[in-house]
A = this chain, B = another copy of it.
Amino acid sequence: MTITIAVDAMGGDHGPSVAVPAVLDFLALSPETRVILVGVAESIEAQLATHQLVVGDRLSIHPASQVVEMDESPQFALKNKKDSSMRVALNLVKAGEAQACVSAGNTGALMATSRYVLKMLPGVERPAISTILPTIKGHVHMLDLGANVDCTPLQLLQFGMMGAMLVSAVEHKDRPTVGLLNVGEEEIKGSETVKEAGLLLKESGLNFYGNVEGTDIYNGTTDIVVCDGFVGNVVLKASEGLAQMMGEFLRQEFRRNTLTRLAACICSPVLLGFRKRVDHRRYNGATLLGLQAVVIKSHGSADRFAFRFALERAQQAVMTGVLQRINNQISLTGKGLN
């Protein structure tokens, strides 16, 4: 099956200077996939020239004259940026010319424009953003990460369903475990919303583990961790901050004096191995779930290496039929239709 991915080449902090070389790397590894680079043609062509790339069977350019800025409101982008690289990329997916869209642009605008252009899957109350985080045992999928700051129990249940379908598709796990993020393991813990979501998840037919706490995220207690977007966003960003701080402390200790600098040289392979394991770039590419097509959000500051992972995630989601699974699950259980 040949897949086509529409890439918003202008999004993110670096625009085409990251998107274009990342696409180059991606195409080299994925001989069956096509990419449409969407954006200001001159900027894209300049980058293609730099990397001695030419458009061809597997790589084309689709023009878009506008760019959604990183600090623009979703409403402004929707109303005033109808020819933005983001919107045009999503239009290509809507028109069937591509099966997935990848963008490193403004998250709020990407979510709002995706909902507007692609529409949601029938029965899904709210779309969610899901990402992968490393754990001691491997990795975990966590959602929502900021699309919804207030959630109802039903929405949390649907996040659990969508997360489970994502994992069962891309990781070929039959019944992935779902944990509900809470302040304690006992059923009586947490806010009313979370308690009710726990009851719904228990009756859902999903492989519900029960409540999980913050520590469980990185312990890899479950395959999926469900939470509202406020909590998910704060945990994700706090984790980024903590990892940066620990990395900085380690660097500072190794730079303390000549002796410690020497020690750093001696154990550089070890430090490299460590850095590789905690390299957040390998986890780049959050999945917007609940839409009628695959949309992947790359981190705004992603580099060439990181952006490639977002492209691979898009390809994988299309190839494994994540959408169909979510659609089946939601319509089967009827959750959301009431």
Contacts and interface: CB of A to CB of B under 8 A. Distances in A.
Majority-rule SS of A interface residues = helix
A278 interface: yes
Contacts of A149: 183, 189-191, 194
A274 B248 contact: no
Given A183-B230, A190-B230, A229-B183, A241 B270 contact: no
A30 interface: no
Contacts of A181: 234
Given A241-B219, A242-B239, A249 B277 contact: yes
Q: Give the one of A215, A217, A240 with max B CB within 10 A.
A: A215
Contacts of A243: 242, 246
A28 interface: no
A236 interface: yes
Nearest to A229: B183
The 10 closest A-B pairs by CB, nearest first: A214-B237, A218-B241, A214-B238, A263-B267, A215-B241, A183-B233, A218-B245, A253-B273, A214-B234, A253-B274
Interface of A: 73, 134-136, 146, 149-150, 181-183, 188-192, 194, 213-219, 227, 229-231, 233-246, 248-250, 253-254, 256, 260, 263-264, 266-267, 269-271, 273-274, 277-278
17 contacts: A136-B245, A182-B234, A183-B230, A183-B234, A191-B230, A194-B230, A214-B233, A214-B234, A214-B237, A215-B240, A217-B241, A219-B244, A231-B231, A242-B243, A250-B274, A254-B270, A260-B269
